[in-house]
Amino acid sequence: MPANIYKNKDGERVPGVTTVIGGNLGWNKQALMYWANQVGLDGKNHRDVSDKAADTGSIAHKMVELELKGETFDWPGLGYQMGATQEQIKEAQHAYESFMEWVELVKFKLIYAEHTLVSEQYQFGGQIDIAAIQGKTAIIDIKTSNDIYADHKIQLAAYKHLWNENYPDNPVEKSYILRLGKSGGFAYYSLSDAETENGWHVFRLLRGLHDYKKKIG
């Protein structure tokens, strides 16, 4: 899935949340190296497996987006259109079905789906998967990963700032990560106040590093 392009009010391009985190946070490096080694021991190419996982997540995200916007779609056709394999489509379908189970359970009122925002104060952009009313104003970030990692929490904390800067009269009160299983099932994780505060602090540091990398590199 192509990366989003974010621009500030002056029309200048600013980095996205995932670009800032992915390009400057090395906390998951050791885990990724271990994963790549295990994939190699299994006789597979880590790039092929990584691309496969990314494609599955992209298809699942697209299915969820179309569902939230009330648009009809053919899931095998959508997957093949995005260049996916039959296995990837099946995994994405499981993730989508898990999402629908969550929808039935939560009964939320949608505000926005795939909502793009830019922070003029800190000069970065991001796309929030779901903004909704669940008794309180909430944002939900969807993942199809095998677990919830530190960078996911940092990402969600940055999204909360994006929302609150742009909608100060309707601030986010709850932030969630919705992890959809590629084999079915889901996990719903609520970010605590401490995790949000710490995640936002880390993101601000990463945002500064992002600019210094250009100056030094």
Number of domains, the chain: 1
Residue 1 lies inside a defined structural domain of this protein: no
Q: Does the pLDDT value for residue 53 go beyond 50?
A: no
C-alpha 125, offset from chain centre: 13
Residue 212 lies inside a defined structural domain of this protein: yes
Residue 88 lies inside a defined structural domain of this protein: yes
**pTM recorded for the entire structure:** 0.85
Sign of the Cα pseudo-torsion (202, 204, 208, 210, in order): positive
Residues above pLDDT 90, as percent of the chain: 61
Q: What are phi and psi of 4, to 5 degrees?
A: -75, 150
Cα–Cα distance between 14 and 41 in angstroms, integer?
Answer: 40
Angle at 17 between CA 141 and CA 47, to 5 degrees: 85
pLDDT value of position 85 = 84
**C-beta atoms surrounding 118 within 10 Å:** 19
Residue 148 lies inside a defined structural domain of this protein: yes
pLDDT value of position 199 = 97
Question: Which SS3 state, helix, strand or coil, does residue 180 take?
Answer: strand
Cα–Cα distance between 136 and 115 in angstroms, integer?
Answer: 18
Residue 46 lies inside a defined structural domain of this protein: yes
Q: What are phi and psi of 211, to 5 degrees?
A: -75, -40
CATH label of the domain that carries residue 43: 3.40.1350.10
Range of the domain at 56: 6-216
Per-residue pLDDT reduced to its tens digit, 117-163: 999 999 999 999 999 998 899 999 999 988 899 999 999 999 999 99
pLDDT value of position 144 = 92
CB within 8 Å of 98: residues ≥ 6 apart: 180, 181, 184, 185, 186
Residue 168 lies inside a defined structural domain of this protein: yes
Residue 161 lies inside a defined structural domain of this protein: yes
